[in-house]
């Protein structure tokens, strides 16, 4: 399927999922995940109407941002992969969002390194909602504490939470646990507006639970090699 058709089909899935959940379609944003696909594919998706792109690997993302510098003012770049504390500077300088903050040290460095002439860097805290040892992210019980520290950092804007639920029979419970955690932080007064949850395979379930941003790669660009 061409990128244009695949993007329309994905938007239709999002709209249908919102309608069945009784939510307005504009409640859910699409983040187009371009990891492993070349800058030309991003250009095509942009021409087809996508404007926010997710990258997993810092070096690959920076290279693409460089290749697409002519579109810089019209695109948002989101880092959705792990970030080590020694790689924060170019991320603070070049990206618009980081979805994978799970340690205060990384947040502090991003805040210190965010250039003063740019808007604050948008941040989601990554939650290890499946509890697997291999997954990065905070344990749910530790999220509120880090959120209270991150909101005080001047060059960051804490937007919400991100998770990658483990596919399978427990996925719905994980989506619901993330939505409940998100709502409880908001009820405690944190000014959050983003629940980054749902990918190509589970976006309907994520939207039913309350996701506000789905991260979709293969359904738009095809299978990754
Ligand atoms: C690759 C990736 C996605 C997109 O996954 P698809 O199944 O291709 O839609 C979303 N989020 C994260 C964190 C990813 O690494």
Compute the distance from residue 134 Cα to the ligand 1 centre, in Å.
17
Give the percent of the chain with pLDDT over 70.
Answer: 100
Residue 183 predicted with pLDDT over 90: yes
Residue 165 predicted with pLDDT over 90: yes
Compute the distance from residue 149 Cα to the ligand 1 centre, in Å.
28
pLDDT at 130: 87
Ordered by start, the domain boundaries in the chain are 3-18+28-220
| pLDDT per position as a tens digit, 24-43 | 999 999 999 999 999 999 99
29-38, 42-51, 106-115, 132-141: segment of lowest average pLDDT:
132-141
The answer to whether residues 135 and 163 touch, using CB atoms and an 8 Å cutoff, is: no
CA-proximal residue: ligand 1, atom 7 (nearest)? 200
* CATH fold of 3-18+28-220: TIM Barrel (3.20.20)
Compute the distance from residue 189 Cα to the ligand 1 centre, in Å.
30
Q: What SS3 string covers 65-125? A: HHHCHHHHHHCEEEECCCCCHHHHHHHHHHCCEEEEECCHHHHHHHHHHCCCCCCCEEEEE
Q: For 2-24, what is the mean pLDDT?
A: 98
């Amino acid at each position: 399927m061409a990128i244009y058709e695949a993007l329309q089909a994905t938007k239709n899935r999002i709209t249908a999922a919102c309608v069945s959940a009784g939510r307005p379609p504009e409640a859910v944003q699409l983040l187009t995940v371009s990891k492993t696909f070349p800058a030309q594919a991003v250009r095509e998706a942009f021409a087809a109407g996508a404007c926010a792109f997710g990258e997993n690997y810092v070096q690959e993302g920076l290279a693409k941002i460089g290749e697409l510098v002519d579109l810089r003012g019209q695109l948002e770049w989101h880092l959705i992969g792990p970030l080590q504390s020694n790689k924060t500077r170019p991320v603070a300088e070049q990206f618009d969002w980081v979805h994978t903050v799970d340690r205060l040290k990384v947040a502090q460095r991003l805040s210190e390194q965010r250039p003063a002439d740019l808007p604050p860097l948008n941040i989601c805290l990554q939650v290890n909602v499946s509890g697997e040892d291999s997954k990065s992210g905070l344990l749910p019980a530790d999220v509120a504490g880090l959120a209270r520290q991150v909101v005080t950092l001047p060059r960051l804007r804490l937007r919400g939470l991100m998770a990658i639920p483990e596919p399978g029979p427990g996925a719905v419970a994980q989506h619901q646990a993330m939505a409940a955690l998100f709502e409880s932080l908001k009820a405690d007064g944190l000014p959050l507006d983003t629940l980054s949850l749902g990918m190509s395979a589970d976006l309907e379930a994520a939207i039913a639970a309350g996701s506000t941003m789905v991260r979709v790669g293969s359904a738009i660009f095809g299978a990754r090699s």
